[in-house]
Amino acid sequence: MPNLETLDLRECKNLEEVDPSLGHCRMHRELDLSECEKLKKLPELKLGNLIVLTLRGCGGLTETPNFGDMPNLKYLNLRGCGGLTETPNFGDMPNLKTLDLGWWKNLEEVHHSLGHCRMLTELDLSHCEKLKKLPEDLGSLQSLERLNVIFCQNLNELPRELPPNLLELSADYLLASKSIRDLVNQCLKLHKLSISWCGHCKCECIHLLQQHLTRTYIQVFISPSHI
């Protein structure tokens, strides 16, 4: 099938490996292996035209694919791949636009090469409970518009330099309140700040946020940390 463009193998519950012959599908643009819970790794796949790769819910994955063979990848979904502990080298993905790494239970930090993804517009790191820090050069992501770090309990601060074109931020209450001044001063296009907290409320911080309601839409919601 050399001209195959889309392959959907979602919810193949007993799939443990993908045949290397998939790499012969040079025209392949989209590959969906979401919820293949027993899949442990992908073979070397030279998919130079691949744009969308979805591995959401592949909890059995123990290593990330070789993204050097997917230079045109734009949309990568690794949400819920709890068996992975380290993010890949993002230097191999210069065209990446959307990255979802939510629900990586053992992720402590994101590879510093994330700063090479100059085309990235959306980054989701929600529910990464052990995440301690973000790359210091996060501010170099000039195209980043949406950042989700909600329910990252061990993430105590955002980098000093923030993406200047950020439009939406989702974060826990304490993290957002610590960073509000930097957000206001650096993210001049920010218009939506979604905050969650678990029973924590400091009126003075809420008042500080309200001072900037003229150009920032703040959506506040209360959710238990285990959701």
Tens digit of each residue's pLDDT (9 = 90 or more) over 92-146: 999 999 999 999 999 999 999 999 999 999 999 999 999 999 999 999 999 999 9
How far apart are the C-alpha atoms of 109 and 85, rounded to whole Å? 9
pLDDT for 227 equals: 42
pLDDT for 213 equals: 47
How far apart are the C-alpha atoms of 186 and 70, rounded to whole Å? 33
Contact at 8 Å (CB) between 31 and 53?
yes
Q: Is the pLDDT of residue 150 over 60?
A: yes
Which residues share a beta bridge with 218?
A: 193
Which residues share a beta bridge with 6?
A: 30
pLDDT for 207 equals: 57
Question: Which pair of structure tokens corresponds to residue 204?
Answer: 């003075």
pLDDT for 217 equals: 56
pLDDT band at 181 (very low <50, low <70, confident <90, very high): confident
Q: Is the pLDDT of residue 202 over 90?
A: no
Which residues share a beta bridge with 196?
A: 172, 221
Closest CA relative to residue 155, chosen from 172, 133, 126: 133
pLDDT tens digit sequence for 48-57: 999 999 999 9
CATH topology of domain 6-163: 3.80.10
Q: Is the pLDDT of residue 220 over 80?
A: no
Q: What is the residue-averaged pLDDT of the chain?
A: 86
Question: Which pair of structure tokens corresponds to residue 121?
Answer: 């517009």
Task: Give me the residue spans of the domains in the chain.
Answer: 6-163
pLDDT band at 209 (very low <50, low <70, confident <90, very high): low
